[in-house]
Amino acid sequence: MQNRFRGRRIAVVGAAGGIGAAVADALSREGAQVYALDLRPAEAMGAGEFVPVDITSEASVAEAVTALYARSPEPVDLVNSAGIVENDVAAEDMPMETFDRVMAVNLRGVFATCKHFGRELLARGGGAIVNIASMSGNHVVNEPQRQSVYNSSKAAVSALTRSLAVEWGGRGVRVNAVSPGYVDTPLNALKRHMHDHWIEGTVVGRFARVEEIAAAVGYLLSDEAAYCCGTELLIDGGFSLR
């Protein structure tokens, strides 16, 4: 699959994170011109040209899109991997500020990037968008951690993916999602004491490797997935089966 993405320009939002960095690396190794979008570069930064963005600001998203098209008029596909989670807060005690903060990134931010990147793709005849949703959008992961806002935000990402797939699929823009189970990344760092519990609940008995999530993203971006429209790939090691 060397050079599968030669000639493609692909923006990875959240590229300084565990999954985003692996996606940026994999796409770049397969020949894509990768733009690594994040709040700031980090140690984990994968391959690609760093472009700063804060997806909670529509102006920042628009600025990043303008910057990418100033380099070339060729279409830029999109991977949305930025996301945050609240740290084990009971719903009855949830500060509404926490609700707003999580939704601002996980739903509003993902909507903003889809809107701005999608508009350019529609104008250029098509392209591909992959959103990283989560197993927990469908399967309520509420044990031992409580994360009602995160779970709701990810269910919304799944619904957004299907909605955009219907709006744009007939005009050449494929919108799909990958929903990981547990992956050992900085997102879960504050919950180390829960890791044994999570691994025990996973049928294959381990965390996903970031490369295994990146492989699913690569498939959905590729021409082999031309018939995937609103598809959500659940990559959870069997966690949600029981």
CA distances from 26 to 4, 10, 100 (A): 11, 12, 33
Instruction: Please list every residue from 29 through 58 that binds ligand NAD, using CB under 6 A.
Output: 38-39, 42, 53-56
Taking the least distance from each CB to ligand NAD, the nearer of 17 and 48 is 17
Q: How many residues bind ligand NAD (CB under 6 A)?
A: 28
Query: Could you tell me which residues come within 8 angstroms of residue 200 by beta carbon, excluding any fewer than 6 positions away?
Result: none
Instruction: Please list every residue from 184 through 213 that binds ligand NAD, using CB under 6 A.
Output: 185-188
Binding mask 112-151 for ligand NAD (x = CB under 6 A): --------------------x-x-----------------
Instruction: Please list every residue from 72 through 91 that binds ligand NAD, using CB under 6 A.
Output: 81-84
Least distance CB 133 / ligand NAD (angstroms): 7
161 binds ligand NAD (CB under 6 A): no
User: What values do phi and psi take at 43, rounded to 5?
Assistant: -55, -40
Select the residue whose beta carbon is closest to ligand NAD and give its number: 17
Q: In what order do the strands lie in the sheet with 232-235?
A: 49-52, 33-38, 9-13, 76-80, 127-132, 173-180, 232-235
DSSP state of 87: -
For residues 23 and 174, what is the distance between their CA atoms, to the nearest angstrom? 18
- The reply to whether 227 belongs to the active site is no
For residues 77 and 128, what is the distance between their CA atoms, to the nearest angstrom? 5
Taking the least distance from each CB to ligand NAD, the nearer of 108 and 124 is 108
For residues 78 and 122, what is the distance between their CA atoms, to the nearest angstrom? 13
Residues near ligand NAD, by CB under 6 A:
14, 16-20, 38-39, 42, 53-56, 81-84, 105, 109, 132, 134, 180, 182-183, 185-188
Residues assigned a catalytic role: 150
